[in-house]
């Protein structure tokens, strides 16, 4: 397939979707025309270029998805441009470059400059970890296609990637130019302070390890969230089409983890309460201790609990099995359909009311309720 055929099929696919304006459609085709020529000049054959870009219809679908989600920052036209990362952050600043070659930068800020941090990017992974000098560090890369805005206001530090002027607003075409992806956006935090942190990315994922936080909130699409070695008051992590894992962490209050079409796992976690919710994703908890309740909800996937301790446990699945090993809880509800419920519970059968008693929540005795349709229940009791 040559360039002309590729562009013709791409145009047809985009016109059938009907999402782009006429000028945007023209800009997209011009972008792919330039991209094809650039790669041809670098020695790639037509077949190699087509393979790197994907089929025209697939590219059109990705363009449609990317166009529906853009990260922008209001009021950027009045901000100062910068080719270096040495400007003061307090008044707000834009980091941009006119160079095609990618360069790495490190922005350093005082530990007490903020209480909360917000990172917002796309098509790029976020990595968060401890700093070595008790200062805040932001590591990022710049070239003529990539720009960021940094702002500090009311003790909230915001660092976001945005579409640059002069690109017809088509920031969502960048993944086709950078087949190898951007270097990660890196945040390093001092151990002496517990910040609140919000990260948001798409098609990139986040890795947060070995830091102390007040509250952690993460949002992502189409990528994995990996959390480990954390001390925090609360965690709220949500991903669509991406798995979530949390390991070796202590959460003072509670944690809420939500995913669609992917699994969620916890291992060696201490917390007040836990809520894991997924559709079409497996839920797993190992060596987890909770002061209050655990709620696990999924569909078309299994739930597996090993050495879980909680006051109350509520597990619900459809078309997925529930498997327990050394479960320790006073109030247990296990419900699924078209699958089995099996495993071991600490204690004796006489310790539990069979079913859910009809009484007020404050007076509930220990109970065990296990129900499945089109499946079997096989639970045994082991020494506490």
Separation between Cα atoms, residue 240 and residue 262, nearest integer Å? 8
Specify the 3-state DSSP secondary structure of 298: coil
Please determine, for residue 16, whether its predicted confidence score (pLDDT) is greater than 50.
yes
Q: Cα(204)–Cα(122) distance, rounded to whole angstroms?
A: 7
Provide the number of structural domains found in the chain. Answer: 3
**Tens digit of pLDDT for each residue in 165-200?**
444 445 555 555 544 467 899 999 999 999 999 999
φ, ψ for residue 88, nearest 5 deg: -75, 145
Backbone phi, psi, residue 6, to 5° = -60, -50
pLDDT digits (tens, 9 = 90+) for 352-361: 887 776 665 5
Would you state the pLDDT for residue 83? 33
The arithmetic mean of pLDDT across residues 94-108, rounded, is 88
In a domain, residue 75? The reply is no
| Contact criterion met (CB below 8 Å) for 208 and 216 | yes
- If asked whether residues 249 and 379 sit together in one domain, one would say yes
Is residue 201 in some structural domain?
yes
- Supply the Cα-derived Rg of the chain in whole angstroms: 25
Domain boundary among 198, 223, 248: 223
Does residue 114 surpass a pLDDT of 90? yes
Q: Residues 262, 247, 322, CA angle at the centre, nearest 5°?
A: 50
Examine the pLDDT at 280 and tell me if it is beyond 90.
no
DSSP string across 201-258:
EESS-EEEES-BEEEEEEEEESS-EEEES-EEEEEEEEEESS-EEEEEEEEEEEEEEE
Note whether 47 and 152 are same-domain residues.
no
Domain match, 219 and 251 both: no
Based on the fold, state whether residues 371 and 246 are members of the same structural domain: yes
- Shared domain check, 214 and 179: yes
**Domain end position, chosen among 223, 256, 284:** 223
Does residue 143 carry a pLDDT above 60? Answer: yes
Which of the pair, 138 or 75, is modelled with greater confidence?
A: 138
Q: Which residues form the domain of 308?
A: 235-384
pLDDT band at 86 (very low <50, low <70, confident <90, very high): very low
Kindly state the helix (H) or strand (E) to which residue 3 belongs, with its residue range. Answer: helix 3-17
Alpha carbons 226 and 207: distance in angstroms, whole number: 5
User: What pLDDT is attached to residue 55?
Assistant: 84
pLDDT (0 to 100) of residue 359:
60
230 occurs within a structural domain: no
Q: Are residues 200 and 337 in the same domain?
A: no
In a domain, 326, yes or no: yes
Domain boundary (165, 200, 223) is at 223
Predicted pLDDT of residue 80 = 27
Is residue 122 one of the residues assigned to a domain? Answer: yes
pLDDT exceeds 80 at position 89: no
Q: Please, which pLDDT band fits residue 56 given cuts at 50, 70 and 90?
A: confident
What secondary structure letter does DSSP report for 49? H
Instruction: Return the structure tokens found at 363.
Output: 């007076």
Residue 370: which of 313, 332, 337, 330 has the closest Cα?
Answer: 332
Same domain, 88 and 176: yes
- Between 12 and 24, residue with greater pLDDT: 12
pLDDT at position 384, please?
Answer: 62
Q: What is the pLDDT of residue 28?
A: 80
74 belongs to a structural domain: no
In which band, very low, low, confident or very high, does the pLDDT at 159 lie, cut at 50, 70 and 90? very high
Interval 369-379: pLDDT, tens: 999 999 999 99
Confidence of residue 22 (pLDDT cuts 50, 70, 90): confident
The answer to whether residues 199 and 118 belong to one domain is yes
Residue 189 near residue 209, CB atoms below 8 Å: no
pTM for the model: 0.75
Q: Are residues 53 and 138 located together in one domain of the fold? A: no
Lowest mean pLDDT among 142-146, 209-213, 232-236, 338-342: 142-146
Mean pLDDT lowest for which of 69-73, 224-228, 327-331, 377-381? Answer: 69-73
In the chain, what percentage of residues exceed pLDDT 90?
55
pLDDT top residue among 97 and 185: 185
Mean pLDDT of the chain, nearest integer: 84
Q: Tokens at residue 366, please?
A: 């220990």
Distance, in Å, from the CA atom of 37 to the CA atom of 57, rounded to the nearest integer, reads 20
Same domain, 89 and 208: yes
Give yes or no: residues 50 and 139 share one domain: no
Query: Are 246 and 371 in a shared domain?
Result: yes
68-72, 144-148, 160-164, 309-313: least confidently modelled range:
68-72
Residue 296: CB atoms within 10 A of its CB come to 26
| pLDDT of 230 higher than 50 | yes
């Amino acid at each position: 397939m040559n360039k002309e055929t590729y562009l013709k099929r791409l145009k047809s696919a985009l016109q059938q979707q009907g999402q782009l304006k006429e000028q945007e459609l023209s800009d997209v085709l011009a972008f792919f025309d330039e991209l094809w020529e650039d790669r041809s000049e670098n020695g790639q054959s037509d077949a190699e270029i087509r393979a790197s870009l994907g089929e025209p219809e697939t590219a059109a679908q990705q363009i449609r998805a990317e166009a529906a989600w853009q990260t922008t920052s209001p009021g950027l036209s009045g901000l100062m441009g910068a080719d270096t990362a040495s400007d003061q952050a307090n008044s707000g600043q834009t980091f941009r470059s006119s160079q095609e070659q990618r360069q790495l930068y490190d922005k350093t800020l005082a530990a007490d400059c903020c209480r909360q941090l917000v990172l917002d990017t796309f098509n790029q992974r976020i990595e968060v970890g401890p700093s070595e000098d008790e200062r805040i560090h932001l590591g990022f890369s710049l070239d003529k296609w990539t720009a960021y805005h940094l702002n500090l206001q009311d003790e909230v530090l915001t660092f976001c990637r945005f579409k640059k002027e002069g690109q017809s607003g088509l920031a969502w075409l960048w993944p086709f130019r950078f087949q190898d992806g951007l270097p990660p956006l890196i945040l390093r935090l001092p151990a002496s302070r517990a910040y609140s942190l919000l990260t948001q990315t798409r098609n990139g994922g986040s890795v947060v390890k070995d830091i102390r936080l007040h509250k952690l909130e993460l949002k992502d699409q189409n990528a994995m969230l990996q959390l480990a070695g954390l001390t925090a008051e609360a965690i709220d992590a949500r991903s669509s089409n991406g798995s979530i894992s949390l390991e070796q962490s202590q959460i003072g209050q509670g944690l809420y983890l939500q995913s669609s079409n992917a699994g969620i796992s916890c291992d060696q976690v201490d917390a007040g309460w836990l809520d894991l919710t997924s559709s079409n994703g497996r839920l797993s908890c190992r060596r987890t201790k909770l002061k209050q309740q655990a709620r696990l909800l999924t569909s078309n996937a299994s739930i597996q609990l090993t050495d879980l301790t909680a006051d109350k446990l509520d597990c619900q699945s459809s078309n997925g099995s529930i498997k327990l090993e050394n479960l320790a809880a006073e109030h247990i509800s296990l419900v699924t359909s078209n699958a089995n419920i099996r495993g071991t519970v600490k204690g004796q059968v006489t310790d539990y009311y069979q079913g859910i008693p009809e009484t007020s929540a404050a007076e509930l005795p220990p109970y065990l309720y296990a129900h499945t349709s089109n499946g079997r229940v096989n639970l045994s009791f082991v020494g506490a």
